[in-house]
């Protein structure tokens, strides 16, 4: 199970979380990545933790003010990028363009989706993985895998029907090792989480609990 911590725009210290994630990954052998604000990608990557961007734009080099260039985040140490999110909704054509941009820059890709139907559409674009995150459960206390196990199973089936090579992650309300374990039992290859770590008083102890569920 891959644990990807999306820091969104939370007022946490990205270096504290990155250092904790690096240490827990090294001690446990688990794959843990941190996805900070684009402006923090380089200094988070410098900690040695696997670093992901939260978004890349569909465009290549050129006259694109305000874009997040895939090549730039890759050059600054990112290994992958999230694409699309309930909190950053893109048109399908732009999701496609961002996946292509990430591929050009050798970034791994996870496309986020709200439901299994969107998972199928996203899987058709050929990312490395898709993540199902029901918007109503994001930021809550109950894990998607407990609150709505069927949505995870349906997402796994939807991706499998389109492209068995595309992994499925789940996210929303994930904060414990038990949540990670339940997600794995439902067929998820990893979890995407944010508030459980970003808002924690002690991110390292939350991460230690999370990897206990792998
Ligand atoms: O949106 C999410 C990750 O991308 C999930 O957020 P929470 O872990 O805060 O529910």
CATH classification at residue 46: 3.20.20.70
Q: Which value does ipTM take for this structure?
A: 0.99
Q: Can you give the pLDDT at residue 204?
A: 98
* Token digits of residue 121: 């559409």
| Alpha-carbon gap, residue 21 to 90, rounded angstroms | 29
Distance, CA of 62 to chain centre: 27
Distance, CA of 178 to chain centre: 19
Binding residues for substrate: 6-8, 138, 173, 194-195
For 45-60, the pLDDT digits (tens) are 999 999 999 999 999 9
Number of independent structural domains in the chain = 1
Q: What domain range is 35 assigned to?
A: 2-211
Q: Can you give the pLDDT at residue 21?
A: 98
Q: Can you give the pLDDT at residue 63?
A: 98
> Mean pLDDT in each 10-residue stretch from start to end of the chain (214 residues)?
98 98 98 98 98 98 98 98 98 98 98 98 98 98 96 98 98 98 98 98 98 96
User: Number of C-alpha atoms within 13 angstroms, CB side, residue 156?
Assistant: 15
Query: Of residues 64, 85, 87, 204, which has the active-site annotation?
Result: 85
Q: Can you give the pLDDT at residue 132?
A: 98
CA of 139 to the centre of ligand 1 (A): 6
> What is the length of the chain?
214
Residues 6+ apart with CB under 8 A from 160: none
Decide if 61 is catalytic. no
Binding residues: 6-8, 138, 173, 194-195
Q: Can you give the pLDDT at residue 154?
A: 98
Which residue among 194, 197, 198, 206 has the greatest number of ligand 1 atoms within 8 angstroms of its CB, and so is best to mutate?
Answer: 194
Could you tell me the pTM of the whole model?
0.98
For 35-44, the pLDDT digits (tens) are 999 999 999 9
Answer yes or no: is the C-beta of 194 below 6 A from any ligand 1 atom. Answer: yes
Q: Can you give the pLDDT at residue 161?
A: 98
Cβ contact 110:127 at 8 Å: yes
Residue 62: exposure state from Cβ atoms within 10 A (0-12, 13-18, ≥19)? exposed
């Amino acid at each position: 199970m891959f644990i990807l911590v999306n820091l969104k725009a939370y007022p946490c210290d990205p270096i504290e979380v990155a250092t904790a994630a690096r240490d827990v990954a090294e001690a446990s052998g688990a794959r843990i990545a941190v996805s900070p604000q684009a402006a923090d990608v380089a200094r988070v990557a410098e900690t040695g933790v696997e670093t992901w961007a939260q978004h890349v734009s569909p465009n290549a080099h050129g006259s694109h003010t305000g874009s997040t260039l895939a090549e730039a985040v890759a050059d600054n140490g990112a290994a992958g990028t999230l694409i699309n999110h309930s909190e950053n909704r893109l048109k399908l054509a732009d999701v496609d363009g961002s996946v292509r941009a990430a591929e050009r820059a050798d970034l791994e890709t996870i496309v986020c989706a709200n439901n299994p139907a969107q998972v199928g559409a996203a899987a058709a674009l050929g990312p490395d993985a898709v993540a199902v995150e029901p918007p109503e459960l994001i930021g809550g206390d109950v894990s998607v895998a407990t609150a709505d196990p069927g949505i995870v199973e349906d997402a796994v089936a939807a991706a499998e029907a389109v492209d068995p090579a595309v992994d499925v992650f789940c996210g929303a309300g994930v904060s414990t090792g038990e949540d990670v374990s339940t997600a794995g039992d439902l067929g998820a290859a990893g979890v995407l989480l944010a508030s459980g770590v970003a808002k924690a008083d002690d991110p390292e102890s939350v991460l230690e609990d999370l990897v206990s569920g792998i």
